[in-house]
Structure 1
Amino acid sequence: MGEVASGKRLLALAAGFVIWSVAFVVLYSALSIGCRQGWSDVHLLAGLSLQRVQLVALYVLHLLAGLGLVVFLRRSQFTSGAAAFLQTVAFYAAIAAVFSTAFTFAGTLMLTPC
């Protein structure tokens, strides 16, 4: 009952899309705040604006968090039937969430921010 009944398996199942959800809120908040504060007019290195740099950094941070979850789930293995099944489903859900994050927020790399 210990390994199967653990709520950690269900949390792991949702964790990838929780990271996606946090990325959604954080990126759109940063976009709104940066546009309001005029960060797209503050230019840094190589013609990149402060707005672009912060959006790309947040995008990469969330991609790395998702990939970290995938690696963590890949390395932790369980032998019992139900726990192993939930682990496998959580692993593939995390992969789907990383691809969703990469696709959904790819516009931060090329579109005008404001």
Structure 2
Amino acid sequence: MRLWPHHPVHLIFGLTVWSVWFVVLYGGLSIGCQLAPPHPDQGPWNWLNLLLGLSTLVIVGALTWLAIQLWRAGGQLEGTGRYICLTSAGLYGVSAFSTLAVALPVLFLPPCI
């Protein structure tokens, strides 16, 4: 089944992805610190932060791609379809920014302190 750009599910999907990513990021951090904690002397440059950082970039890339696609699709529609596309594009953008903001400590802090 193909979801059309003006489908209302786009209004909640971006923030849902962000909230699931929030749980996965900090859950994965906790599990990684419990099973194989990196040495604190490594600072933020260790295998756990690298894995979480790369995963974050994948999620941000997907959310940004969706935002761009819906923004473009919204320019070709009128009425309610246009509203849903443009609002969803904004929500995907906010979700991408929020995903980066949540993962920002991965760049600066050692994970298991």
Same fold per superposition (TM over 0.5): yes
CA contact (8 A) 2:25 2:52 kept: yes
TM-score by length of 2: 0.79
Deviations 1:17-66 (A, max 9, x none): 1221121121112101110112423xx9xx93211111111221221121
Separation in 1, partners of 2:77, 2:62? 26
1:70 aligns with 2:61: no
Q: Which residue of structure 2 lines up, in the alignment, with residue 23 of structure 1?
A: 21
Gaps of 5+ in 2: none
Separation in 2, partners of 1:84, 1:27? 33
1:10 aligns with 2:8: yes
Deviation at 1:104, TM superposition (A): 2.1
Secondary structure of the residue aligned to 1:9 is coil
Gaps of 5+ in 1: 1-5
CA contact (8 A) 1:70 1:94 kept: yes
Q: Which has the higher helix share?
A: 1
Separation in 2, partners of 1:18, 1:101? 11
Q: RMSD of the alignment, in Å?
A: 2.4
TM-score by length of 1: 0.78
| Seq. identity, % | 27
